[in-house]
Structure 1
Amino acid sequence: MRNLVEFLAKHNHWFVFLILEVFSLILLFQYNSYQGSVWFSTANAAAGKLLSWEADVESFLSMSKANQELTQRNLYLEQQVKTLSKQLTDATKDSNWVRRNQLDILKGYHLIPAQVVSNSIDRHDNLITIDKGSLDGVKKDMGVACGTGVVGIVYLVSPHYSVVIPALNTESNISCQIRGRGYFGYLRWYGGNSKLAYVEDVPRHARFRLYEWVETSGYSSVFPPGIAVGKILHVYNSPDGISYRLQVELSTDFGKLRDVCVIDNKPVLERLDALRAAQDSLKPKEDK
């Protein structure tokens, strides 16, 4: 104990220097926006790299089970595609109809595949980090989806990594509609169960049934229409009593989320830009 005290007394000036240095760096990065942004980018890149290594290890360890699940799902989807293709061929008498329409649908969207390197589901402000960034074509406000449905919206982008606000975030607000009905609302999550969320502001005159699907509406530049959100479990009155609140079981299992795609929805952006330009041209011009 005496040796420790003597050591601290002998080198106390170094400890004071280190404490002051750390304190000054905290003040520098906290109260200066430029230095803070540089620190955030550097720290985000370093943390993203470490999380990527951790995710690679976890992915390798769980690869066997994932391959089994993918194999089963592929078999199911293959059978479903064959059945639907046969029905469409019988209805249209055209064996190439399915292939042509699939190409037409996919042609409009550029998908950027990515992997989740960090994820949380037990907070109110859950965030997801993916291993693709601006150098891969990812931009802020792009939509993110997986094989089973909606994931979230890109919030922050660095050269090699991006942070996504998932549907499991109390700040998330995604436009969606009841499949085949046309009635739309907004997907919100209020915490708690990671498998349940709510569709708000569904009009009172809407007609639908329990267990019908909710999907993206396509009314924004983030998601194209038709991406699965979940199934309706219960119907409640909204707090103001003038609309419905739908409880939905999310189709995406955020606890097992690994592979995702970032959606570069350029055609929708072009249509929105054209619409805005048309609206601006119709505005009455001020008298000179």
Structure 2
Amino acid sequence: MRNLIDFITKYNHWFVFVILEVVSFVLLFRFNSYQGSVWFSSANVVAGKVYEVDAAIKNFFSLTKINEQLNVRNLYLEQTIRKLAAQVHTQTGDSTWLLRTQMQVLNEYKLIPAKVITNSLDKRDNFITIDKGRADGVEKDMGVACGNGVVGVVYMVSEHYAIVIPLLNSKSNVSVTIRKRGYYGYLHWTGGASDLAYVDDIPRHAHFRLGDLVETSGYSSIFPPGIIVGQILHVYNSSDGLSYRVQVRLTTDFGNLRDVCVIDNSAMKERIELLQSAEDSLKLKQN
């Protein structure tokens, strides 16, 4: 204890110097907007790099499990495509129709691969940070998906990073439809379990079954139609008894999310904007 006191006494001027420097920097960055913005930007860049390294380490140790999931999914998809190709060939005699159709669909939008570097599950308004930004072609309001389904929508974009509002956010509102049934609504998350969400206002006359798939409807410029969202788990009556409330088990595993794709669906966005312009023009003429 005496040695510690002697040390502090001997170098007290250095301790005073360091404390004064810290206080001065705090005052400088807190009460000067320019210096504060420089500090905030620099701190974000450093934090982004730290999160990126952390995500890379986690990715390395989870590669075995991810590869197993990919192998199972690839096998399932290969079997499905083979069956579809056989059915199309039987019906039309054209063995190249399925391949040509797939290429036409893919040509309508491009995918921007990205890594998840931060992700939260325990909040009502969760956010995801990815390592792609404006420099990579990412823009606000682009859809984000992974191999298992929908992830969310791009909310904020910097030069090299982007913030995504996932399905696990109270402000998330994705237009979905029940596959092959034609009924659609908006998917939202109410908190709690990270694999459960709800679709409200399904009409009482709707015919569907437990286990039916829920997918994107394509009624917005964010997601193309047909991207899987989840599977119907339960059906409840709405609070007013006039419609159904459908509980959906999400196919995206947000607790193990590493690789995603940002969907640049410019072609669909252009068509929807053109249709909106036509509708607005017609309203003006009618008035």
Q: Work out whether the TM-score is over 0.5.
A: yes
Q: Distance in 1 between matches of 2:285 and 2:41?
A: 45
Q: Distance in 1 between matches of 2:11 and 2:243?
A: 68
Q: 1:40 to 1:247 in 2, by over 3 A?
A: farther
Per the alignment, residue 140 of structure 2 pairs with 140
CA contact (8 A) 2:29 2:39 kept: no
Q: Distance in 2 between matches of 1:51 and 1:14?
A: 29
CA contact (8 A) 1:113 1:260 kept: yes
Q: 1:110 to 1:40 in 2, by over 3 A?
A: farther
Q: 1:177 to 1:125 in 2, by over 3 A?
A: same
**More displaced, 12-21 or 134-143?**
12-21
Q: Distance in 2 between matches of 1:138 and 1:101?
A: 27
Q: 1:285 to 1:82 in 2, by over 3 A?
A: closer
Tell me by how many angstroms 1:123 deviates. 1.6
For 1:1-288, list aligned pairs within 5 A: 2-3=5-6, 6=9, 10=13, 12=16, 15-28=19-32, 32=33, 39-284=39-284
Q: Distance in 2 between matches of 1:44 and 1:13?
A: 28
**More displaced, 231-240 or 168-177?**
231-240
Q: Distance in 2 between matches of 1:189 and 1:96?
A: 41
Q: 1:35 to 1:149 in 2, by over 3 A?
A: farther
Tell me by how many angstroms 1:192 deviates. 1.0
Tell me by how many angstroms 1:285 deviates. 5.9
CA contact (8 A) 1:144 1:152 kept: yes
**More displaced, 213-222 or 274-283?**
274-283
Q: Distance in 1 between matches of 2:198 and 2:38?
A: 38
Cα deviations by residue, 1:129-188 (Å, 9 ceiling, x for unpaired): 111110100001100001111000001111111111100111211111111112111111
Aligned residues: 283
Normalization by structure 1: what TM-score? Answer: 0.89
Tell me by how many angstroms 1:37 deviates. 5.9
Q: Distance in 2 between matches of 1:39 and 1:150?
A: 35
Tell me by how many angstroms 1:251 deviates. 0.8
CA contact (8 A) 1:45 1:160 kept: no
Q: Secondary structure at the match of 1:219?
A: coil
Q: Distance in 1 between matches of 2:39 and 2:243?
A: 46
CA contact (8 A) 1:45 1:161 kept: no
2:159 is aligned with what amino acid? P
Cα deviations by residue, 1:43-68 (Å, 9 ceiling, x for unpaired): 33322221111111222222233223
Gap regions ≥5 residues in structure 1:
none
Q: Distance in 1 between matches of 2:74 and 2:273?
A: 38
CA contact (8 A) 1:41 1:158 kept: no
Q: Secondary structure at the match of 1:223?
A: coil
Tell me by how many angstroms 1:102 deviates. 0.5
Cα deviations by residue, 1:216-274 (Å, 9 ceiling, x for unpaired): 11111111111101111111122343332110000111111111110011111111221
Tell me by how many angstroms 1:275 deviates. 1.3
Q: Distance in 2 between matches of 1:132 and 1:244?
A: 39
1:246 is aligned with what amino acid? V
